[in-house]
Amino acid sequence: MGNPEGTRDSSARIQITVALIGLLGVVATALISNWNNIFPKSNSTQTVTSSSSAPTAKKPERAAHSSGQLVVRGTWHCDLDTGAETNTAGDFWWEQETDVKRFLTPESGAAFFVVGIRDFDSLRFAELEHFQYSAQRIEADDAPANNLPRGTVVAYRTKQGRLGKFRVADYGRNMTIRWITYDK
């Protein structure tokens, strides 16, 4: 018969080998999943923006002049500086030509730029400063060619010269918007 002690010795070696392979697998997985944290990419060029030795903080977003959610009823006007629906000229008129033909019509010197479907919060004030705003009315028909479907973000310059943005939260005869108008 075979040596029983030799069998036990061989079995122990196999168990140790399997345990070491398992341990190596765990270490390798941890290393691969945290590779970018362990070995961060370094920039080959470094830009110095301040001569002081104190670290510079990221420039905060501009303060809000007004913000919230608002329902603009069909044929009514909207003042984006105050965040109010009005029955007289505001920053835009939610024009209803027919049950299907609709327009966002700028008023009183306000101007708009359709950004498109985008995450509302990711659109920063610095970007708003560079859009080509227009006082042309924006076609918003209840049809496939609608330029203002639900989820569309629109940047604007109010009649008082403030920049802002709104997102179409709901679209129909009445339009619900989430807006923020920034301080000058």
148 vs 22, 64, 167, CA distance in Å? 56, 24, 9
Q: Is the pLDDT of residue 1 over 60?
A: no
pLDDT for res 21 = 87
Residue-level pLDDT at 143: 87
- Structural domain boundaries in the chain: 4-37, 64-182
d(CA 141, CA 31): 54
Residue with tokens 């629906």, as numbered in its chain: 85
Per-residue model confidence (pLDDT) at position 7: 67
Q: What dihedral angle (degrees, nearest 10) is formed by the CA atoms of 10, 11, 17, 23?
A: -160
Using 50, 70 and 90 to split pLDDT, how confident is the model at 178?
very high
Predicted confidence at residue 31, as pLDDT, reads 62
Mean pLDDT of 143-160: 94
Q: What is the pLDDT of residues 33-48, one digit of tens each?
A: 665 556 555 443 333 3
pLDDT in tens, 89-117: 899 999 999 989 999 999 999 999 999 99
Coil, helix or strand for 130? coil
Is there a contact between 126 and 118 (Cβ–Cβ < 8 Å)?
Answer: no
CB 64 within 8 A of CB 182: yes
51-69 pLDDT, tens digit each: 344 444 555 689 999 999 9
Q: Is the dihedral of CA 59, 61, 62, 63 positive or negative?
A: negative
- The pLDDT of residue 121 is 95
pLDDT at 165 over 50: yes
Closest-CA residue to 108 (of 72, 152, 78): 78
Please give the Cα distance from 6 to 12 (Å, whole number). Answer: 10
Position 30 pLDDT exceeds 70: no
Q: For the residues 73-101, what does the mean pLDDT come to?
A: 94
Q: Mention every residue, 6+ apart, whose C-beta is less than 8 A from residue 93.
A: 75, 76, 77, 78, 103, 104, 105, 107
Query: Strand, coil or helix: what is 177?
Result: strand
How many CA atoms are closer than 13 Å to the CA of 138, on its beta-carbon side?
Answer: 26
Q: What per-residue confidence (pLDDT) applies to 59?
A: 55
